Structures are given as structure tokens and as C-alpha cells.
Structure 1
Amino acid sequence: MKVVEPKYSNVKQASKEASLDSIIREMIAEGRWSMGERLPSERVLSAELKVSRNTLRNVLKCLEANGLLEIRKSSGCYISSTKPEESKIQRESAAPHQEIMAKYEAGLLVLPGIFAAAALKVKPEDLQELEVCTGALGQSILERDWEDLMAHSLEFPLIVVRCLNNSVVSEIIRELCESAYVFVPHLSRSQEASRKSLFTDFVMVLKALRKGDPALARIAVKRKIINAAHALTSVTGVPLTPILVAAHEELSKLEGDTSIGATA
């Protein structure tokens, strides 16, 4: 069986740095370190956050430029004495999460129809690639390898949309998924059930595509997006949008399952 290699290294790197920036901002806002305190060494912090030292270094430089940190040569990185007020940091930290929630809402409005159309055109070789990708997703979750998980999470929909042979649709998928999957590293702070749900949702989408069932694909994608939105809410506190709430209620009634997203 052919192994699918991640093809989107630039996207992957940008996603890693954006998500790491958000995580460190949250750690500062939550009082992980006090004013003027020295952060752990790059070696220790990169190991804790499961990123490379180069990625961490790039993000720390950006945070220094934003006034949150001060990097002292041969000394280390410190919480800046000119750090913005706590409430401002929290607003800045929440803003990217609100944007991600908006992406989930947009995805809910667009992606089910795209995947339903793809269910009618998916080829055996596409299904084979999706099976490999899904297996890699599961392995990434087990190993808590968030970098690989982001790469494969983006790879999955791009394989699907390739069936439609429409460059405009491909760009829509890429735009929606690149920013939304920046949230993936936050799963390290969520419950184990949330991480298992992420894998299960991909499996259900794959099953629908394998059956060539547009209606089933539409429902599976809706469930996946709603569960992802609930996971974002549980970790960041950013509320679901009214459209996502309505979709959750509609899907719960349709499936007779009021627990949709409850563990996400």
C-alpha cells in the first residue's frame, strides 16, 4: 500500500507557529509565569510543547516584538515588564479562537455539500490514500504528535476535494482548513474522549465516502465540524455561534442522539 507523504510543509510550518503563538499567549494570560520571571530553557519548553526549538525560537521572537516577552542575550527569555494588561492579553488570545470558530461555521455551510458531491466521484485509489491518511491520523493522536496530526488533518480534505477536479473548490477547502486546524495542538489540553472523537469523526467520513453515499457523507461532515467546534469551546471558552448551535440541535434530532459533541 502506498504511503502518502505530507505535501504541505509551508502550510504545516505556518500552522505550527500560529498555534504555538496562541498557546504561549494563553499560558501567559493564565499566570503560568509571573511578571519578570524567566521562562524555561528552549530545550525544556520545546520538549513540553512538542515542537522543534527553531519553531519555538521564531514564536518567542514574535512575542517579544509584541511586547509580551524580553529576550536577553546569554540569559534567556523573560516575561516583559512592559507586558500589556491581563485583560488585553486575554482579548488578543481569544481573537484567533473566535476566528477559528467563524471558520467552523463557514465550514458547516460549505463542506457538507462538497463532501456529498465527492462521495459520487471518489475513486478506489483516492479511498486507498484516505485510508492511509486516516491510519496516520490515528497514530498521531495516540502519540500526541500534533504537528503530524495537523498535516494529516489538512491532507484528508485535500485528497477528497481532488475528486471534484475544481481548483476553486480546492482553494476554498484549503483556506477553511488551514486556519481551523491551527487549533489541533490545543487538544493536548482536552479530555481523551475529545481526541478519540476526532479520529472517530474522520473514520465516519471515510465510511460514507467508501459507500458512495452523499447523504451519509453530508451528515458525517456536519457531525465532525460540530464536534470540533465543541472541542474548541471546551478548551478556550469561546461560545458556539448561533448557526452551529442550531445545526447541533438539528443533527441531534435527526440522529436521535442528544449527546452529539458532548464529549468533544
Structure 2
Amino acid sequence: MAKQSEKRNLRGRAGRMKGGRGSGRAGKGAVRLWGRHAVEAALLNPARQHRKLWATHEGIESLCGDLPPDFPLEYAGPEDLARLVARDAPHQGLVLECEPLEDLHLSDILDRDNNRPILVLDQVTDPHNVGAILRSAAAFDAAAIVTQDRHAPPEGGVLAKSASGALEKVPWVRVVNLSRALEEIAEAGYWRIGMTGEAEATLGEALPAGPVALVLGAEGEGMRANVESHCDALAKLPISEAMESLNVSNAAAIALYAIATRAVD
């Protein structure tokens, strides 16, 4: 009886939420995350303020560690959780509503150790791609990703699920003017390499010994002219002529690997 009551209460709340079933939208000013890796990373992130966690019993058991006794938790069934996320999203029995991460300034990143690469994304708007890039950035110890605030996806469940926890680990700086940000990056001692298939040099040939900022544009359109003009060098990945280009998230992962192995050498 208690479980049925919990389900009725949750179902009523979900039905009244803005956007209706399958919207994945959180309450005003909040972010909704789902999936074990994304939710667990957010729960472990001391910079996150949490509003409420909806979960199945199996979802709670999958988490590493215990929730505080007073944590706002509501148990629910998989069907009820499906009402709280984007349509057909794999919530894995966990849906967390929390406050968005605090904004970061570019200077916060540039003032730190600059031996780690920075990724600059020019109009990469697909949340799956940005999430995958964040995951690669975490795997290869990048210092941050930088995007223009008007031409990047918002922080949210789809992006966080694709990032597999990396949204909580890799600093994400949103700037008003990407060209001005690249100027600041150069002043901090970074060599700015724009990735484009039209370049003559490969990334291996263009990599310097010092700090690197990789600049990647949207698939198809590539970098905008003004952004490209703010790069110190242009480089391409040595892919086969059988393929015209790579997905931007794949290109980012390969480029980060090239930097990591260069550092080892």
C-alpha cells in the first residue's frame, strides 16, 4: 500500500510538471540529471546543491556509498521515473534534480598549472557531442572546455548522461566572445591549434612542447573565420581518404591522446 501511494504521489507531481511527460525539464532554475554515472558524480560533487532524488530501490543499491539520513529522497517505480526524464532516456533507476553548477571565469582556469590542455569548442551545439568531449577531457586530464554561451548546449540530463560523470569533474567555462577568450588563452602562454581537415600539417607535426589549446568547430561548418584567425596554427588528423571527416567528439579524443602521448615522450 505504501509503495502504491508513493507511486500515485510521484505520478501526480510528474503530470503537473512543465512540459509534461518525457520533457526532462526540471523546476525553475534547476537541472535534472539521470543515469547512474551522472547522478552518482553529482551526488559526490561538493559544489552541487541537490534538491531531490527520485529512485528505485535497485538504483539506490547501485550507488557507491550511502546518502545522508536527511537527504530528500523519494522511491518510485521505473514507469514513474520515465515521466521525469527525456522521452526514452535510460534513467537506470535514478533521477536527480539539483542546482546548476556555478559559472566559472576563464581566468580561474588560466591562473592554474597550464601543463594540461584546454579544449575550445566553436558552435558545437549537440549535447551528445559536448558530453562525449567532456568524458574524453576527463580521461586525458584536460584543464577545461571553453564554449561560447550562446552557441553551446545547456547543462542538462542528455549532456550529463553522455559525459558519464565528467560534467562534475571537468571545468566548463562559458564566454561571451570566443575570439577574445582565445586572446586571453594566448596571453597565458598557450599555443592555439585549430583543427581542420583543410590544414596542411598533421597534429603531430603542429604540436609544440608547451601548453596547448585545441580549437574544434562544429561538424560540417567547422570553425568560423574569426575564430580560425585567432589560432596560432592549423592542423588535421591523418585519417584515410576513405572518410572525409570524423565526428567532433571522436576528433577531440584522438587529439587529446596525441597531446598526452607527446607529454610522455
The answer to whether TM tops 0.5 is no
Q: Which protein, 1 or 2, shows the higher relative CO under an 8 Å CA cutoff with sep ≥ 6?
A: 1
The two structures have a TM-score, normalised by structure 1, of 0.26
Larger radius of gyration: 2
The two structures have a TM-score, normalised by structure 2, of 0.26
Q: Which structure dedicates a bigger proportion of its chain to helix?
A: 1
Q: Which structure dedicates a bigger proportion of its chain to strand?
A: 2
